[in-house]
Amino acid sequence: MSKSFNVAVAGATGAVGNQVITCLEDRDFPVKNLKLLATRRSAGRKLRFKGEELPVEELTESSFKGVDIGIFSAGGAISEKYAPVAAKDGCIVVDNSAAWRMNPDVPLVVPEVNPDAVAKYSDKGIIANPNCSTIQMVVALAPIHKEAGIKRIVVSTYQAVSGTGKKAIDELYNQTKAILNSLEPEKKVYPHRIAFNCLPHIDAFLESGYTKEEMKMVDETKKILEDDSIGITATTIRVPVFFSHSESINVETDRPITPDEVRTLLENAPGVKVVDDPSKNLYPMAIDAAGRDETFVGRIRADESVPNGINLWVVSDNIRKGAATNAVQIAEILAQDYLSN
């Protein structure tokens, strides 16, 4: 990749924004100039990139003039307001929020699964990054769907507090410390204590009894796999883990497929690392996935209660592959295939 690009990171001071900066450096993305954007309150802070201290600027409507790629990690309201402004100035937006994911004119992209969908960015100048829990699930399931067809998915997630942001990370730490010192823990971020607890509640509840997070997984998976016929049901749970989401996934396929065949498929799938030797206590764990970009899959076994049933355990770092890395991978496709001429 000989050409370099002007890149902006909106929400640069947040947990995901910080990881975007790290990923751009780790993956040696061809950055010509890097613009760091955040709220007025954060303007003036310095963040490191490739050994330099770069100033954080206030995000305004004129921030994207001359910018080739803008990676947004500043929340849905900011994305709704500023992504069209950036696109109008010729900047291609890769958005981490939920604001544009289900817009029919905006591609929803996981590079290991549907890289060709990036081409559709020209409709609005915006590409959406899926929900973190959706990303790791489709990375693991896409090869199975291609090989044997997926009829139904039942997924239960065990999601780290970092998915809520830095305040939630601090809350888990402070509550744990308080309990271990026989003090009353304070709760501000979640409706109940998260330390030593599990909350079957991520995002707002809908009239159906499902949460928005659960329905994101349903709707986004169908859009990414381009198959509305798949039956999907999800239960999402917040657990007292700092980084990495874990998922128990039950799949019913159209055609028979054995656990060994699934294992071989996934061992050869992009972005997947199979860790599956229970006899040696080897299986994916959140502590091992943290800080990594792969999607880890294990506990691959037949579901003997239904024909063509397979069970999987899938773990991935929600801040990296679930957000920052996926966004930078999309930017790499743009740089390689669409902006190099």
Is residue 23 part of the annotated active site? The answer reads no
Task: Report the first-to-last Cα separation within the chain, whole angstroms.
Answer: 11
Is residue 132 part of the annotated active site? The answer reads yes
Residues present in the chain in total: 341
Q: Can you tell me the distance from the alpha carbon of 82 to that of 235, in angstroms, rounded to the nearest whole number?
A: 32
Q: Can you tell me the distance from the alpha carbon of 338 to that of 341, in angstroms, rounded to the nearest whole number?
A: 7
Q: Can you tell me the distance from the alpha carbon of 57 to that of 20, in angstroms, rounded to the nearest whole number?
A: 16
Work out the widest C-alpha separation in the chain, in whole angstroms: 63
**Which has the closest alpha carbon to 130: 98, 164, 154, 156?**
98
Active-site residue among 132, 145, 192, 198?
132
Active-site residue among 23, 91, 145, 245?
245
Residues noted as catalytic: 132, 245
